[in-house]
Chains A and B, each alone.
Chain A
């Protein structure tokens, strides 16, 4: 898989500023500039396919531009965009009939794995890191994968994540605890 990786030391900032004059408005450019990296990363790791993530990011922002009048300011813009992105990605996933589906029971096996889940995760800093992360996430349930990707965004609170996934904050905390253990156990097996 072709990983859209940055060169070492380069952050994931969008180059959109360089061509903002091509946007229909400065506001749209600003919206994309501020949130596109987070949305693209979610789509990339949730869908597991760079090309599909590219298409999804385009579609999510186009939908957002078309629905700006429906945004009532009750949530942050980032949360609102995540809502659109999650719905979009989940619709795509549901339409992939050939996709392997992992049940929560499968996750439970990994949560109880004998892997050293309390140990730090160590990895050689190579190009394969992204592939190992993707392989690990792909082997998890959609629910755990989504929770881990959302919690990785430091701009989101537990309460916002709970709203996005339609559960209580306490339930999210509990599931994230299990999701982290499952991730660590699976990651150790991806060598």
Chain B
């Protein structure tokens, strides 16, 4: 299993030059990338394009695959 970050993420407020900034502190690059990933939103255009594109590929072979994975008739 992957090693968990040793330190919890800390957040603190600092006042610099009259304006307030939030400082995020990350114990590791892994933690920073997970935070970054959580903030990224998938453009809805991908799903829309895929819905159009996938209409031509939905057939019998993939039904067999899904049966294998999830069972059922």
Contact = CB atoms under 8 A, between A and B. Distances in A.
Given A16-B47, A32-B50, A73-B69, A4 B42 contact: yes
**B1, B2, B38: most-surrounded residue (chain A CB, <10 A):** B2
B73 interface: no
Given A4-B40, A12-B40, A180-B28, A36 B46 contact: yes
Given A4-B43, A54-B45, A69 B26 contact: no
Interface size, A (range):
35 or more
Contact of A23 (B10, B51, B64): B51
B29 A22 contact: no
A40 to B, nearest CB: 5
A165 interface: no
Contact of B40 (A44, A62, A126, A180): A44
Interface size, B (range):
35 or more
Contacts of B37: 12, 37-38, 41, 152-153
A14 B37 CA distance: 13
Contact of B26 (A24, A77, A120): A120
A65 interface: yes
Interface in B3-30: 7, 10, 21-30
Given A27-B62, A148-B33, A123 B2 contact: no
A121 B62 CA distance: 45
A54 B42 CA distance: 8
A187 B29 contact: yes
B55 A24 contact: yes
A32 B47 contact: yes
A3 B43 CA distance: 11
A22 B2 CA distance: 38
Interface of B: 1-2, 7, 10, 21-30, 32-34, 36-51, 53-55, 57-58, 61-62, 64-66, 68-69
29 contacts: A3-B40, A4-B40, A4-B42, A4-B43, A10-B39, A14-B47, A15-B42, A19-B48, A23-B51, A23-B54, A25-B58, A36-B42, A40-B42, A41-B37, A54-B43, A57-B42, A68-B66, A69-B62, A69-B64, A120-B10, A123-B24, A125-B23, A126-B21, A129-B39, A130-B36, A148-B30, A151-B30, A152-B29, A152-B30
